[in-house]
Structure 1
């Protein structure tokens, strides 16, 4: 597998391999929220945490981020502590945070070093279904005293979700494959992922429901030959570059379904934009732009 593909897979797994029940994990302090509100200095190590803080009106508490925290655009003005798999402790400490929040894998040694420095850590794990987005929003809101804002946001999201479900019920079902990576390693939205539930809510039939752990086989893909293939751009490539590679590489070139490139950052991150992502997924599956 070439380096771009390896990096893409590792980043994806880091961001979305958060299996299990929701939990709040505080290192160094038993109550992270005990930090005085006006003195909060937060470093976010996960893109969906960063998005959520800004959506709650708490972006001003952020003093640092990871390389992958790229939304909203203003977040990119914050100093970065590096990648998820190789963050810089020196850089993080120089930002003088009193709270670090993550919803993804971070090396254990890195967490221990932060703990020894006396900095509070909240590590969020949300269940792999759509409800996990609401859980994540509520947990982050609790850390920044934005509970009321969180409930209003969730209510608005739920209204959008119900609208999509009603529209999807009127559409014929289509078989769907989400290609998160391909080549030496094939990654898709398997049965144990929140993306699989989103496909169902949007009125699709996810062919990868017969697999787990974000991993799929070429043989099963070719056997199902889905009607719609949603293709995620590779790391560092444009959508068209990835589409060209996919359509000219065996065995993918023999698939007969419609191939559509999608915004993986939007659709694959649990958080405030998950309802919007469901709406986008609906339009991609049914080719009904504007509905």
Structure 2
């Protein structure tokens, strides 16, 4: 099946899948040291959409001098110069902008930025994989940009929202869930990931939670064997292939759910909005079972 996507969406989707495939090898955020005279960073380049969003969230948006092609939130970011796409970086333009900090997606861009590292540029590798990781990274970005106080406020609000969701849904009737990240290749997420944490927070049981790989490539037979109550994906087009198995519980009961990829797959503080949407949809499934 071919999924028709806008160019920016397509490149972000490609980068996202690449990041997932590389996660096992690059799971920890790292930063090359900022020199004393450039700390906190005043000229920052963001190379991925979630990074741009996090920088603006903590109040460092005014220090961002360039972004990647797919960064489109918040609106203020759209006017900034573009210096990267899925395949490459515009090294000449990056050097011309004289950044004192580059923030790259560690899981997908660790190799492509190595020439910049070798030139002595400071690079922070963003790699949040769990709810706790995101809090830690917000704190690190706050320190690097001089926005520790606002980062602290953002972290508190984010963790409070997670706590409220946990209290609201922790006693719900469990539903087995297959969380589909991609259709080709068919990919899911194990229990160590934020997607699986979201399923658990909503009172679900991720059928792939015990997979050895964080983002396993699976086959349809594995899903059919476990016959989940619910299948979740980011697009209705990515769910259509399940219709060829009408006896599958999620298909028979019309329990194929969609989530907003900008909220659930672009891991930022807005992800709590996506989690709430997922929880609400799962609750509708429970109510349908009860009636």
Higher RCO structure (Cα 8 Å, ≥6 apart): 1
1:236 alignment counterpart: none
Give, in whole Å, the separation in 1 of the partners of 2:140 and 2:17: 22
- Which residue pairs with 2:241 in the alignment? 246
SS at match of 2:50: helix
Q: Name the TM-score, length of structure 2 as normaliser.
A: 0.82
Which residue does the alignment assign to 2:210? 210
2:197 is equivalent to residue 197 of structure 1: yes
- 2:113 partner SS: helix
* 1:174 Cα deviation from its structure 2 partner: 0.8
Q: Secondary structure at the match of 1:63?
A: strand
1:198: how far off? Answer: 1.9
Displacement of 1:14 in angstroms is 3.5
Distance 1:152 1:281, change over 3 A: same
What is the alpha-carbon distance in structure 2 between the residues aligned to residue 230 and residue 151 of structure 1? 32
- 2:288 matched residue in structure 1: none
Q: Is the 8 A contact 1:25 1:122 kept in 2?
A: yes
Distance apart, 1:242 and its partner CA? 4.0
Q: CA deviation at 1:164?
A: 0.8
Q: Displacement of 1:155 after TM fit?
A: 1.3
Conserved 8 A contact 2:14-2:86: no
Per-residue CA deviations over 1:2-28 (Å, capped at 9, x if unaligned) read 6979977642233445446644221xx
User: Which 4+ residue blocks in structure 1 deviate beyond 6 angstroms?
Assistant: 3-9
Report the TM-score, using the length of structure 1 for normalisation. 0.82
2:249 matched residue in structure 1: 256
Deviation digits for residues 156-186 of structure 1 (CA, Å, limit 9, x no counterpart): 1222111111111232111111111114x21
CA contact (8 A) 1:178 1:188 kept: yes
User: How many residue pairs end up in the alignment?
Assistant: 272
Structure 2 CA distance for aligned equivalents of residues 106 and 7 of structure 1: 13
Displacement after TM superposition at 1:203 (Å): 1.0
Structure 1 unpaired stretches of 5+? 234-238
